Amino acid sequence: MVTEKDIWEYLEEVSDPEIPVLSIVDLGVLRAVKLDDENCHVTITPTYSGCPAMKMIEVQIIEKLQEKGLKNVTVDLVLSPAWTTDWLSESGRNKLREYGIAPPENEVDKSVLFAEPTVVPCPKCHSKNTKMVSQFGSTACKAHYTCNDCLEPFDYFKCLK
């Protein structure tokens, strides 16, 4: 007999297509799982409004659960409460770092004009001597940084609260 807890475990195997080291559970995109009789109802939330990965995540969820023998799977997209980087799990933060992406520092980029950007340690050499190249990086959820010490360019998973 499959339980909701099992489903959460199955969905650990569904990853974010843009950051394949993170599962949708690590990322906090998976919000709820509800099981009654034959029907499985999954709720997800996007990181950013225009996140192009959501459709693919939905398809992957359905495929994964069908593979596990669940027949009627529905996926709902909710916007509220709005996703925040606080939902990124500790294991997710570690996976990001190992992958070469700096995890969110617990600080929103100040909306003050020309405020000093957040200090983000280099995921390769851990130096804090880094600089922000652009607030907008390779995907909506990332900013672009460079390490002044090891010269590595890297992505920073920017803080959203």
Partner 1 sequence: MNTLFEYTIRLADDSLILGHRMSEWCGHGPILEEDIALTNIALDLVGQATSFLAYAGETEGKKRDADALAFLRFDREYKNALLVEQPNGDFGMTMMRQFLFDAFRKPLFERLQHSSDKQLAAIAEKSLKETKYHLKHSSEWVIRLGDGTEESNGRIQDALNTLWRYTPDLFYADEVDQEMQQQGIAPDMAAVYADWNATVQHVFQEATIEIPSNNWKQTGGRKGLHSEHMGHILAELQYMQRAYPNMEW
From the list 44, 147, 159, 160, which residue makes contact with Zn ion (rule: CB under 5 A)?
A: 147
Give whichever of 83 and 154 is closer to partner 1, judged by the CB atom. Answer: 83
44 binds Zn ion (CB under 5 A): no
CA–CA gap between residue 122 and residue 153 (Å, rounded): 9
Report what 37 binds from partner 1, Zn ion, none; CB cut-off 5-8 Å by kind: none
150 binds Zn ion (CB under 5 A): yes
Piece in contact with Zn ion (CB under 5 A), picked from 9-17, 58-66, 76-84, 116-124: 116-124
96 binds Zn ion (CB under 5 A): no
* Residue type at position 140: A
75 binds partner 1 (CB under 8 A): no
Neighbours of 42 (CB within 10 A): 24
Q: What are the C-alpha distances in Å from 13 to residues 6, 26, 40, 69? A: 12, 11, 17, 15
27 binds partner 1 (CB under 8 A): no
**Torsion sign, CA atoms 49, 52, 55, 58:** negative
Give whichever of 46 and 92 is closer to partner 1, judged by the CB atom. Answer: 46
Give whichever of 126 and 131 is closer to partner 1, judged by the CB atom. Answer: 131
Q: What is the dihedral of CA 99, 101, 105, 110, to 10 degrees?
A: -170
CA–CA gap between residue 9 and residue 11 (Å, rounded): 5
Give whichever of 1 and 113 is closer to partner 1, judged by the CB atom. Answer: 113
Binding site for Zn ion (CB under 5 A): 122, 124-125, 127, 147, 149-150, 152
